[in-house]
Structure 1
Amino acid sequence: MSQSGLQDLKKNRLGSLLADDQFKDVNLRSMLDIARFDDEEFVKMQKYSVPELRRPLFEQVLEQATWENVIKGVALGPSWSTHWFKILVRIPKGFEKVERIQFEFNMEGEGMIFSEKGDVIHGLTGGNGLDCRKEFILPESWRDGYCHLFYIETAVNGMFGLSDGISPPDMGRVMHVNTADIVVPNMPAYRLFWDFQIISDCAIKLPQNSWESYLALEIGNKIQNAFMSGVQDTLEECRKLAQEFLGKDVDSDKVFDSKGDPIITAVGHCHIDTAWLWPYAETRRKIARSWSTQLDLMDRYPEYTFTASSAQQYKWLLEDYPELFARIQDANENGGKFKHIGGTWVEMDTNIPSGESLVRQFLYGQRFFENYFKKRCETFWLPDTFGYSIALPQICRLAGAKYFFTQKLSWNNINKFPHTTFNWVGLDGTQTPAESYNAQCDVDDIIKCVTQHKNLGEDKTSLLLFGNGDGGPNLPMLERLRRCRGVSNTIGALPLSKTGSADQFFEDIQKNTYQGRDLVQWVGELYLEFHRGTYTTQAKIKAGNRHSELLMRDIEYFCTLASLFNPTYKFPKKNMDVLWEKVLLYFVKLSYCADLRNQFHDCLPGSAIEMVNVDVREIYDEVQATGNNILNESLRALGFVDDGGEVVAINSLAWSRTEIIDIQSITSTSPGDSKRFPFVDIRIDSVEKAVVSSEPKMVSCPGNTAKFCESKPYCSVDVQRIKDNVFKIKNGVLEVTIENGIITSIYDQRVNREIVPDGAQVGKYMIYNDQPLFWDAWDTEIYHLETGHPLTSTKVSVIESGPLRSSILVETRISEKSWIKTKISLEAYNGQDGAWSMIKYDAEVEWQENRKFLKIEFPVDVHSGEANYECAFGVIKRPTHANTSWDAAKFEVVCHKWADISENGYGVAVLNDSKYGFATQGNLMRLSLLRSPKAPDAHADMGRHKFKFALLPHIGNYQQANISRAAYNFNVPLRVGQTKDIIAVNSALNSILLAGDPSIILETIKRGEDDEDMQTSLKNIPKRNGRSVILRLFETYGGHATAKIITTLPIKNVCKTNILEDDGEKIKFDKHDACLEIQIAMRAFEIATIRLIL
């Protein structure tokens, strides 16, 4: 036999000592237990099966439980059910002096142990995988010969729910209690087990021609020769051999005391998906299971540091398990071993939420941590999400988060992301140090920390984030970590590691790179080349998100004004917080805190199981109803009435608007007029006396509210039938030809320009086969674009024919079960400022498809190498070509309310009210509408959908055409109300105005979080005297801009703040007549928060 063949034989032999196979009766596994007892003399069990899939807390169980005697092997079901066990154990005599005695319980699912008085001890994970934890170490005081009582709560679901991979849950699952034993473990055998794992790994994973690899193989071979099954003394002999490679200190934290400069910081982490393959209610228990286990490990491993994010999860723990929460607070404050991190309410999706929603993630998250842990988070922690908004560096800095960590970029499926440690430069130029790299703490993980570090030239420090997803680190990981450090100390074959926190890791980087100045930069968005289908999956959830974000904007605006102008009205902070908590519980959004729950990275993207998605959709509907009630109460407090007043239009945006709106079932009290009217066009411009016309007319209205006034000149719209299924609609600006339900011509009469390329068709629905490689709800792959075919209309008819709106109804058959009805409309145009002429689409879809993708195409005669897309707090440019693999990878991208392609002097935008997936290839713009994946939700997106979008041709580029404002108007329709006191209403609604550069958007008007009249549950954050108003503005077009805030409020001081509302520099203001003016100068894409102190 050759030398290499001999070495291979020895390597193959290494696996036999620990193998769970035919030789386990004679290898080391045969000696792991000294004794095992399961008879009723020592173990007695009673079970209570909770009805109706409820999840009662410990106190409730004691009140309602009816216990039955059971034995090992008892079956548990159905899926998602809860079963409690009341267990009495008596430790047999003769084992008083052994190192450890434990109770092992394995029922295939998840569980949690409670003391007799109801304190959480730690979690259990059933099965036989790497994440299994079945042992409960019994206190030494229980070796007294008496019976001792404890409880185990069990759940008929595994760590990853009840799915086979990402398939929908198996709702017929039955589990069994396979183990319920008192066990005396052979601790020397366990320690040898961990020793040999690392030694054999080194023999295989270290460079094969290195002396370290040969030494590991030699020592491993000697250990196997020395081991004799059933002979205890050979265990110690084998361990002495292991010390030659590992050193003598691997059984304690002393192993980390040796000299050297560690370059790996190992941080324990438990990434608990707030909802994914299990319902939200199960997450509340997962948190307690996982985090209590980490406290238990800290007691036994003094070096261990654990970190956990998501303020919502801490809040749930506080509500359900206050004693456990108090222990975590103590571990956080005394010794700092349990670290809070992240600073956000949840580990959210960042592609789809608005900029303000991202702000609220930090606002609510940081305030929670500050209140309960006395410290905000400095590291933004987002290990698992599906893309990274370009606004994040600036938002992080404004929230006090100096660093950013993720690992998802390593999932790119086309290009490898080139950096590990780098400075991320955001939309406005803000830089944030970032780190991108779940580990099991084996030799391979330690090696990869160095070999996969792409920026060793700038900094050699690496972060080892270890722990099972949704469960956290376990004992074997910590034992392996000690032994890897032992190898480093003794042989030097592995890089030195230490345990620590993420903050410490980033501080080390700062020290090593001259405060980050030596790090490489990545400028622009961190686009994840994966999970692109999440921009579209679960369309109703995404619509609920958009509509709720905008509703919350209005609620805060009107409630703020009502609290300032009506002395009897109290800002409903407490009621809104209660509703926020309810929304957070059910993961929907009423307020921005409510947003945060639904914006978790498996909820809003649409990659959760059906029961999660059903809950979210139902609560979004409830949010709309409840939120509008709160809003209407604030409007009544401002002087609006339900009936009997003059009809007015209410504008919550900060600019004038000219629009046609539908008025239904509202009558006017103007003299001589009580008729109903279907359409009214509104001009919000100047304060003037107004009357309501019973005829549809173009009208002028004042300020932020408007009476319906006499018309100004306008170009009416009309529709002509040219021939069968061919129609022409024109309004003096656009002339649109529709043939068989598809636009074949759009002629812009302002510039005498045809917009549709020769032979092209605008507004054509396309259907694609959509079968990704694996992640069904998550992914759509580039090859799906090769499978598209157009849909043809079956019926076209005129349903409105002017003078203010003309509409064509197009009916399209997708399949035998699916169809589309689309209303294509063009409205009258009067050429006033703030008016746009656009082709509007109102779509209703019955969708019953299987792995199909529905899109609509807009080919336009505009040439540009880049397209522009609205994103959080700004606009991002992306290529319209596929010159490089990086360009080609962006075949599907995120956009918010609009996308635009412009050339010098002209452009075309596509607006939408609830869609997020988009693509621009050359001059072809494509809006993604609906997907139909079957996992993990087998019924994803099935049913009826309604949504709107529009095509907006414009003169100039998107900045000159103010496309951002057009998209806000499209998404925030004017409200219609009635008032008997127009002067008082206008006084309130005109009390805060914005004038100046149209690129500055006044996004938010709200009350200060810590005003003395704000009721909040955060009692440890001090109140501020008086009242204040918070204004959030951002520059949206990418240039320096100025504006002024004009207010009639009794201002004492004005401060610029961060997004956490900490006062910064004071801002001067000037008084002009009855108003105060505050000058604002902003950088490109800057986010500014202003506090008006009353």
Structure 2
Amino acid sequence: MHDDRTLVEARLKRVLEERIRPAVYPESVPLEVGIWTAPGEPVPVAEGLAAPRTPIAVGAAWGAPWSTSWLTVSGTVPQRWAGRTVEALIDLGFDANMPGFQCEGLVYRPDGTPVKGINPRNQWVPVGSPALGGEEVLLHVEAAANPVILDYHPFLPTDLGDKETAGDEPQYKLARMDLAVLDTTVWELVQDLEVLGELMAELPVEGARRWEILRAVDRALDALDLQDVGATAPAARELLARVLASPAEPSAHRVTAVGHAHIDSAWLWPLRETVRKVARTTANMTALLADHPEFVYTMSQAQQYAWIKEHRPEVYAKVKAAVAEGRFVPAGGMWVESDTNMPGSEAMARQFVHGKRFFLEEFGVECEEAWLPDTFGFAAGLPQIIKAAGAKWLLTQKISWSQVNRFPHHTFWWEGIDGTRIFTHFPPVDTYNCSVSGKEIAHAARNFKDKGVARNSLAPTGWGDGGGGTTREMVAKAARLRNLEGSATVEWGRPAEFFAAAQAEYPQPPVWVGELYLELHRATLTSQAGTKQGNRRSENLLREAELWAATAAVRTGFPYPYEELDRIWKTVLLHQFHDILPGSSIAWVHREAEKTYAAVAAELESVIGAAQRALAGAADGGGEVVFNAAPHERGGIPAGGARPAAPAPGGCAATARAEGGFLLDNGVLRVVVDGRGLVVSAYDVAAGRETLAPGTAANLLQIHPDFPNMWDAWDVDQFYRNSVTDLVDADEVALTADGPDAVAVRVVRSFGSSRAVQTLTLQPGAARLEFDTEVDWHETEKFLKVAFPLDVHADRYAAETQFGHLYRPTHTNTSWEAAKFEACNHRFVHVEEPGWGVAVVTASTYGHDVTRTVRAAEPGTTTTVRLSLLRAPRFPDPHTDQGVHRFRYALVPGASVGDAVREGYRVGLPERRVPGDAVVAPLVSVDRDAVVLSAVKLADDGSGDVVVRAYEAHGGRARARLTAGFTLAGAVECDLLERPLAQAAAPVVDGDTVELTLRPFQIVTLRLSRRAA
């Protein structure tokens, strides 16, 4: 029996490959081909269609990296083909094993109407079904010569990732360019045999069903004349009909196939190329929908719809019509499939605001699910954001990539930091590019961890990243697997239909509390520091622009820049895509991001400046008004307010020490910097307590080798810690000044081919030591960190995330804890013993690690916090982060979590000084430090209402009074889209004050209407 099985499987493989598949197109004639290559960037469709062509032959080279060529293919359908199905076969030089990572094309008719995309596994274009014979065929192909950058073994540095360095050598050779007859019966036979062969390979050897299929396949191959496949294919199919008709077991696992093409909004191609990838894919999918009424296709990312609306309106018209039919389904409700670890609170909220609003305005569709199959882990604050946006479900798949621990559920409640739960599905098929192969469907059924209590799972089905989406072969396989013995059942469906069914059958699934940490791609928290700093700066500037523009609009009639802010938000949200902000895209993407962030900053600075000048009043006396956008500052300027500048209180003293170091003292902190420029003491005067562990030094720059096993820009592997070099040698340690009252020490270090210049500053009255570090970085495959060894005994620490913070262990009791050796924070990391803590706050770094050791010489525990500053991977950008970078961070001894929140905001929101003499009361204020205002703005609908978003930031319950700095007509609690919440109790309003009662980390969005003067 064993020999029979292997012989039949080997026979099937060879006959399919060498006889049946070639017989799918039994006759063909060559097409004539002409070519024109655009001289620079892609041109409009009309220009490409009209450009003159030069003849080109099959086998000729074409396509310099990132170039665009317009091909014209022409020919005549032979009269003898009348009544048969005829297709054009257009092979640009594809590698069938790399769909989405090479050349691609979009086919147009002469009038500019899009037909479909062509891709490595989708090379056919319909001509006639049936053909009349004698038709003239004329098609135009916009062919993109995107270079092959991804080579898994190994990842090699390449200059192909930027058009400025890629060169002009042709990348491809034209392959098949034919008109051909499609033998539909042979094509159907291929699908029959592939489905049965793949199913047979997954069934138990001992089971009768496997042998039943094997014998049927054997008989079908016997019936096939290999010299005349077309004539004998019907007989072969007839012999397979019975085994294909045998129904699935009633208890079979149920797979909902969702037509899908995961298209990275940028990655190994620039943003402009994604516009065309989306156009090709959506043209493909609208054509497939027209041919297959059972098929349903889903696409997320509002940005991608907006792109084709703007750049390919002829494709968008087909998409919009298919959406109206309910078969092309907008999903996810986000602007892009963003990273969720690093975007700030408001940015994460605005991903849903702008995404959902686009789908509502364009299609009248309200997405109830978040759709994030490929994002690199999920922050613990996300469930509340999803719910506050009016959604209730989440799909993700990436967690299956974790290196160490297998996630224990496939369907579960995910509980966030505030207690909000979201019904979440993690497809057991373990891919977001499912091809409906027997192996994939069988794996989904076997792998499903909720057997016995649930039977539904989802399979995102189609080639992504420009691979063309779902194919007609996938649709054919799904039809055969809809109800087939031995297999899970497969049926096309919409995400909402799947989630409703899954939740109905499994209303009480298990609960996962806290972040969904991906045990992989940890280095994305550090790679491409310039992109990350651009993001953080943009978020801070948007906060200020909305705050000051709203304040000026209410107080002075300043024109609120609705359209400008809307456009800038969408630009910033786009760059939070999960391969841009994480630093895992090609050089071109990050080079463009740097320019974009600079332009965003300039625009927002202009908005802020104009609004503040409108508020500051006259400056006849040469005075200055100081504006503060940080959430709160004890004893200083109110949050969102301004006052005339005044001299700073007190001062600082600096004393040289005999060993070559310095003592800095402001009466709150006493800091000792030794002759190496390292901080060896940070004494909290009020607490009478040393911050640093005995015998250690803080602000210690450390460098590690950094050569992960795979995924260079994405990964840092735990063994990097095995080797470390402490950078303790200093070129210069000198006392300097940083303002009229502050004292500072300047430290210069050289290491490798790089140089670091640091300024350590103690401000008057401040309970923080500030660090300004400029690194001229020219290392390769190295990892730079800065360490703070703290004399704190703590088994957990707090790291800021969206709308709050989460706790992670400092120990490694289990493999789950040990795997979190690099993690994300936003503005602070906080460690504490009861009654006393320390915060390390940062302006723009995300990656960090926290470790603990028990001291041998002196009893006690050292908890070391390290910020991750720079890496130097060589793929996909071989020059990642080379050049000058500036980092700002601070050590805050004696800090509570509330202090960490305040200081974290402050480090990124410096006070601004504007000529004038006005006192500007806050537009909105709150009387409790625990309640932070994350946004103050005017309502997006132009009504003039003031929208305020607040959250409880300390992790406890809070009662607070929110006071409007204007005459309040009413207050309504809203969702993130500023729509009133039907189930919410009316806020308690007393005059111009609103009473707030918040649970730990709760978000509340209030819409405040103003009484007319």
Are the aligned partners of 2:253 and 2:445 in contact in 1 as well (CA < 8 Å)? no
Asked if 2 retains the 8 angstrom alpha-carbon contact of 1:757 and 1:860, the reply is yes
Whether 2:119 is the aligned partner of 1:125: answer yes
Partner of 2:224: 227
Matched, 1:286 2:265: no
Kindly report which structure 2 residues correspond to 1:457-606, keeping only aligned pairs within 5 A, or say none: 457-470=452-465, 471=467, 472-485=469-482, 488=484, 492-513=485-506, 516=507, 518-567=508-557, 569-577=558-566, 580=567, 591-606=568-583
Q: How do 1:424-439 and structure 2 match up within 5 A? A: 424-437=414-427, 438-439=433-434
Q: Determine the structure 1 residue equivalent to 2:743.
A: 806
Residue pair 2:345, 2:934 contacting (<8 A) in 1 also = no
Alignment of 1:468-867 (within 5 A): 468-470=463-465, 471=467, 472-485=469-482, 488=484, 492-513=485-506, 516=507, 518-567=508-557, 569-577=558-566, 580=567, 591-640=568-617, 645-657=622-634, 683-684=636-637, 704-709=641-646, 712=649, 714=650, 716-739=651-674, 740-794=676-730, 795-800=732-737, 804-815=741-752, 817-829=753-765, 836-867=766-797
State how 1:1000-1079 maps to structure 2 within 5 Å.
Answer: 1000-1011=931-942, 1026-1064=943-981, 1065=984, 1067-1068=986-987, 1070=989, 1076-1079=992-995
Q: Distance in 2 between matches of 1:280 and 1:1007?
A: 31
Kindly indicate whether the alpha-carbon contact (under 8 Å) linking 1:163 and 1:277 is maintained by their aligned counterparts in 2: no
Measure how far apart 1:329 and its partner are. Answer: 1.7
Structure 2: unaligned runs, 5 residues or longer? 95-102, 161-165, 428-432, 853-862
Higher alpha-carbon deviation: 170-179 or 1035-1044: 170-179
Contact 1:123 1:290 survives alignment (8 Å): yes
Q: What is the match of residue 804 of structure 2?
A: 874
- Give the SS at the match of 1:850: coil
For 1:745-781, what per-residue CA distance to the aligned partner results, in whole angstroms no more than 9, with x for missing partners? 2222222222222221211111001111110000001
SS of 1:744's equivalent in the other structure is strand
Tell me, in whole angstroms, the C-alpha distance in 1 between the residues paired with 2:593 and 2:733.
Answer: 36
Pick from 79, 92, 95 the counterpart of residue 106 of structure 1: 92
Name 2:922's counterpart in structure 1. 990
**How many correspondences in the alignment?**
972
CA distance in 2, matches of 1:80, 1:1001: 47
Indicate yes or no: 2:144 matched with 1:155: yes
Q: Mean alpha-carbon deviation: is it higher for 932-941 or for 1037-1046?
A: 1037-1046
Q: Distance in 2 between matches of 1:94 and 1:5?
A: 46
Residue identity opposite 2:45 in structure 1:
F
- 1:4 matched to 2:14: no
Rounded to whole Å, the distance in 1 between the matches of 2:564 and 2:90 is: 47
Structure 1 counterpart of 2:62, from 76, 83, 86: 76
* Displacement of 1:62: 4.2
Per the TM alignment, residue 158 of structure 1 is displaced from its structure 2 partner at its CA by 5.9
> Unaligned stretches of 5+ in structure 1?
127-131, 249-254, 581-590, 659-682, 686-701, 830-835, 1012-1025
CA separation in 2, counterparts of 1:725 and 1:290?
Answer: 66
Matched, 1:92 2:78: yes
Deviation of the 1:481 alpha carbon? 1.7
Deviations 1:728-754 (A, max 9, x none): 222222222222111222222222222
Tell me the equivalent position of 1:455. 450
Aligned residue identity for 1:606: G
Task: Find the residue that maps to 1:735 and give its secondary structure.
Answer: strand
Separation in structure 2 between the aligned mates of residue 376 and residue 1088 of structure 1, nearest angstrom: 21
Distance 2:705 2:807 in 1: 28
Give me the whole-angstrom Cα distance separating, in 2, the residues matched to 1:426 and 1:759. Answer: 40
TM-score (norm 2): 0.93
Please identify, of 878-887 and 458-467, the stretch whose mean Cα deviation from structure 2 is larger: 458-467
Matched, 1:384 2:374: yes
What is the deviation of 1:561?
1.8
8 Å contact from structure 1 (residues 717, 802) kept in 2: no
Q: How far is the alpha carbon of 1:790 from its aligned partner?
A: 0.7
CA distance in 2, matches of 1:379, 1:709: 51
1:945 lines up with 2:885 in the alignment: yes
Distance 1:708 1:1091 in 2: 32
Is the deviation greater in 554-563 or in 850-859?
Answer: 554-563
Q: Give the counterpart letter for 1:303 in structure 2.
A: E
Aligned to 1:933: 873
AA paired with 1:212? R
Indicate the structure whose relative CO is greater, using CA pairs within 8 Å and at least 6 residues apart.
2
Superposition deviation, residue 285 in structure 1: 0.4
1:360 aligns with 2:346: no
Structure 1 pair 122–260 and aligned structure 2 pair: CA distance change class (3 A): farther
Query: Which amino acid in 1 is paired with 2:283?
Result: S
Q: Offset of 1:30 from its aligned partner?
A: 4.0
Task: Single out whichever of 437-446 and 720-729 deviates more from structure 2.
Answer: 720-729
Corresponding letter in the other structure for 2:366: R
Against the structure 1 CA distance between its residues 709 and 998, is the aligned structure 2 distance closer, same or farther, given a 3 Å change threshold?
Answer: same
Corresponding residue to 1:445 among 440, 448, 455: 440
Taking the aligned partners of 2:621 and 2:947, their CA distance within structure 1 comes to: 34
1:140, distance to aligned residue in structure 2 (A): 4.7
Q: Distance in 1 between matches of 2:257 and 2:390?
A: 24
Distance 2:721 2:658 in 1: 34
Give, as a single letter, the amino acid of the residue that structure 2 aligns with 1:752: G
For the residues of structure 1 that align with 2:939 and 2:48, how far apart are their CA atoms?
42
Residues 343/627 of structure 1: CA separation in 2 closer, same or farther (3 Å cut): same
Distance 2:637 2:85 in 1: 81
Q: CA deviation at 1:146?
A: 4.2
Q: Deviations over 1:209-239 (max 9, x none)?
A: 1111111222222222222223233212211
What do the CA deviations read for 1:166-218 (whole angstroms, capped 9, x no partner)? 54353344212111111112222222112111222222211111111111222
Q: Is the 8 A contact 2:81 2:133 kept in 1?
A: no
The CA distance in 2 between the partners of 1:208 and 1:638, in whole Å, is: 80
Kindly provide the amino acid, as one letter, of the partner of residue 238 in structure 1: A
Where 1:15 maps in the other structure, the secondary structure is helix
For 1:915, which of 835, 838, 845 is the aligned residue? Answer: 845
> Whole-Å Cα distance in 1 between the matches of residues 640 and 368 of structure 2?
43
Distance 1:709 1:500 in 2: 65
Measure, in 1, the Cα distance between the counterparts of 2:424 and 2:640: 46
CA contact (8 A) 1:1034 1:1087 kept: yes
Structure 1: which amino acid aligns with 2:578?
A: H
| Distance in 2, Cα, partners of 1:978 & 1:802 | 19
- d(CA) in 2 for partners of 1:808, 1:1036: 34
Q: Where in structure 2 are the equivalents of 1:403-442 lying within 5 Å?
A: 403-437=393-427, 438-442=433-437
For residues 597 and 926 of structure 2, the distance between their equivalents in structure 1, rounded to whole angstroms, comes to 32
- 2-structure distance, mates of 1:718, 1:481: 76
The range that moved more, 499-508 or 144-153, is 144-153
Matched, 1:197 2:194: yes
Shift of 1:647: 1.0
Q: Alpha-carbon deviation of 1:163?
A: 9.3
1:684 counterpart letter in structure 2: I
Is the 8 Å Cα contact of residues 32 and 190 (structure 1) preserved in structure 2?
A: yes
Q: 2:833 aligns with which of 903, 922, 925?
A: 903
SS of residue in 2 equivalent to 1:881: coil
Q: Which residue of 1 aligns with 2:99?
A: none
- Secondary structure of 2:322's counterpart equals helix
Aligned partner of 1:676 in structure 2 is none
Residues 828 and 242 (structure 1), Cα distance of their counterparts in 2 relative to 1, 3 Å cut: same
**Match for 2:190: what amino acid?**
F
- 8 Å CA contact 2:527–2:881 kept in 1: the answer is yes
TM-score (norm 1): 0.86
Q: AA paired with 2:869?
A: L
Identity of aligned residues (%): 31
Hey, what's the Cα distance between the residues in 1 that align with 2:620 and 2:60? 65
Given that residues 142 and 148 in structure 1 are in contact (C-alpha distance below 8 angstroms), is that contact kept between their aligned partners in structure 2? no
Root-mean-square deviation (CA, aligned residues, Å) is 2.2
Inter-CA distance 1028–137: structure 2 relative to 1 (3 Å threshold): same
